């Protein structure tokens, strides 16, 4: 019941707003572009990280030697 009341109030607030006549300067577009580029770069990094693990699970790539995930070399 409380959620329904909150939802109704939110709908009424959004329905009753007027025009903002806001000014968006060129810096706003730059920030948006930077966010999009960062999201793409982060998504590619995550995809690459999990794709290597996925291939290792399926046996499509050789398994990593022990300690390779921590950057240690036990062959010395």
- Six-digit token string for 33: 């572009």
Contact 44, 37 (CB under 8 A): no
pLDDT in tens, 18-61: 777 778 788 988 999 999 999 999 999 999 989 888 888 888 87
Residue 41: the pLDDT is 97
Reported confidence tier of residue 2, pLDDT bands at 50, 70, 90: confident
- Which residues, at least 6 apart from 52, have a Cβ–Cβ distance to it below 8 Å? 61
Residue scoring higher pLDDT (15 or 20) = 15
- Asked whether residue 66 carries a pLDDT value surpassing 70, the answer given is no
């Amino acid at each position: 019941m409380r959620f329904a009341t909150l939802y109704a109030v939110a709908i009424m607030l959004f329905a009753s707003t007027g025009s903002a006549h806001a000014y968006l300067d060129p810096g706003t577009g730059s920030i948006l572009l930077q966010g999009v580029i960062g999201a793409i770069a982060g998504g590619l990094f995550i995809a690459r990280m999990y794709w290597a693990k996925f291939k290792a699970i399926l046996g499509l790539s050789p398994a990593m030697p022990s300690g390779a995930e921590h950057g240690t070399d036990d062959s010395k």
